[in-house]
């Protein structure tokens, strides 16, 4: 299935990955409706950072995933759905678990119900590597047990299983994409790479939580390639597919790597506010991406150093968007 002149809905379009996906879909000739959470400021999130020539081609729909009627209105005449909309901040899920669960679980249910009723041709549901919890073995394949080590990860496990049930119960043409840690330009300081970069660029100390956890980082353009291939590939219906580099790096090593690429060495200070509650830290996430290679013919093209360099350049040019001294949850 190609994208030109296809009517496409992207939920969570104002977010980091969603804005990059929306931009790519427009460039591919798609007719994109961008679902953005309503706010009184008419703030369309990171879609605002797109070029005017791209923005003028996007049909922005303001609503709330928790409102089924809002979702149904957005779904009218849609052929392809990319469901990325979610509350994703893990620390926030500890203090507002109900809001996170309602948005991620009920919101997903609303999307799937509307897609079923309107006969959508394909739904790409977005999961997260956080559903695996601390790795029982690495690299992590799609058969790894799911573990709810935070309210956020539990909400995404529930959403993933609802998506699976709609495929098995109603034969909804749905596939689940499961990115590991995505990074790149436009990402907020809620994520660790922008957090480190902004602090190194502007301060003599950087404040971090645990330094030992290991993560698998994939550049956003590579992740978007995976999303695009999910629709173009027929054999993915009913499947769950990891997207990750297959390489792990600790947070401490990551911080030193970023310092080296910036050319500045600063002190790393442990900030207890940034440490996850006991028993909830995910110690190691490294993807087994062999299924993506087999079904999607996908592999990451951008190395970690190359991707970080591009991210440093973008953040340095847009440093006014960040508050390095503020811990954002």
Closest CA to 64 of 55, 73, 76: 73
Over the chain (329 residues), the average pLDDT of each successive run of 10 is 94 98 98 96 95 98 98 98 96 95 98 98 98 96 97 98 98 98 95 96 94 97 98 96 98 98 96 80 95 98 98 96 79
- Cβ distance 30 to 2 under 8 Å? no
> How many whole angstroms separate alpha carbon 150 and alpha carbon 127?
14
290 located within any domain: no
For 294, the 3-state DSSP assignment is helix
Structure tokens that stand for 142 in this block: 């799609």
Helix and strand numbers, DSSP H then E, in the chain: 12, 13
309 located within any domain: yes
Q: What is the pLDDT of residue 324?
A: 79
Q: What is the pLDDT of residue 86?
A: 98
Q: What is the pLDDT of residue 266?
A: 97
29 located within any domain: yes
291 located within any domain: no
What CATH number is given to the structural domain containing 105?
3.40.50.720
CA dist list (Å): 317 to 99, 223, 326: 34, 23, 19
197 and 138 within one domain: no
208 and 119 within one domain: no
100 and 33 within one domain: yes
1 located within any domain: no
295 located within any domain: no
CA dist list (Å): 172 to 34, 70, 116, 123, 184: 22, 21, 6, 8, 32
- Cβ distance 211 to 255 under 8 Å? yes
Q: What is the pLDDT of residue 214?
A: 96
Q: What is the pLDDT of residue 275?
A: 79
Closest CA to 159 of 101, 113, 95: 101
Strand bridging mode 267-270 / 205-208:
parallel
191 and 137 within one domain: no
327 located within any domain: no
253 and 239 within one domain: no
Give start and end residues of each alpha helix (H) in 176-235: 192-202, 220-232
Q: Which residue range is the domain that position 196 belongs to?
A: 184-215+247-284+303-321
Q: What is the CB neighbour count within 10 angstroms for residue 189?
A: 20
209 and 76 within one domain: no
Half-sphere exposure of 255 (CA within 13 A, CB side): 25
Number of structural domains (the chain) is: 2
Query: What would the 3-class secondary structure string for 222-243 be?
Result: HHHHHHHHHHHCHHHCCCEEEE
298 located within any domain: no
What CATH number is given to the structural domain containing 270?
3.90.25.10
172 and 224 within one domain: yes
251 and 231 within one domain: no
């Amino acid at each position: 299935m190609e994208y030109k002149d296809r009517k496409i809905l992207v939920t969570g379009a104002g977010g980091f990955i969603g804005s990059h996906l929306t931009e790519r879909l427009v460039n591919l000739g798609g007719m994109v409706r961008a679902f953005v959470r309503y706010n009184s400021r008419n703030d369309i999130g990171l879609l605002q950072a797109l070029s005017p020539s791209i923005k003028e081609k996007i049909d922005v729909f303001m609503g709330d995933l928790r409102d089924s009627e809002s979702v149904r209105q957005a779904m009218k005449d849609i052929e392809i759905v990319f469901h990325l909309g979610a509350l994703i901040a893990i620390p926030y899920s500890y203090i507002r678990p109900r809001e996170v669960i309602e948005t991620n679980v009920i919101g997903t249910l609303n999307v799937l119900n509307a897609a079923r009723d309107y006969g959508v041709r394909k739904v790409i549901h977005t999961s997260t590597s956080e559903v695996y919890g601390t790795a029982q073995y690495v690299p992590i394949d799609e058969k790894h047990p799911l573990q709810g080590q935070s309210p956020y990860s539990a909400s995404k496990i529930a959403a993933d299983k609802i998506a699976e049930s709609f495929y098995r119960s109603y034969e909804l043409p749905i596939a689940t994409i499961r990115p590991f840690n995505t990074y790149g330009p436009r990402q907020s300081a809620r994520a660790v790479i922008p957090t480190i970069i902004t602090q190194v660029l502007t301060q003599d100390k950087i404040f971090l939580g645990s330094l030992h956890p290991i993560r698998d980082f994939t550049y956003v353009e590579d992740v978007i390639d995976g999303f695009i291939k999910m629709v173009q590939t027929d054999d993915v219906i009913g499947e769950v597919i990891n997207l990750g580099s297959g390489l792990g790096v600790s947070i401490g090593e990551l911080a030193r790597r970023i310092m080296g690429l910036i050319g500045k060495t600063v002190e790393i200070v442990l900030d207890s506010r940034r440490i996850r509650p006991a028993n909830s830290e995910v110690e190691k996430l490294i993807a087994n991406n062999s299924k993506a290679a087999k079904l999607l013919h996908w592999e990451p093209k951008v190395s970690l150093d190359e991707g970080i360099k591009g991210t440093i350049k973008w953040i340095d040019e847009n440093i006014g968007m960040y508050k390095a001294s503020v811990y954002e949850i």
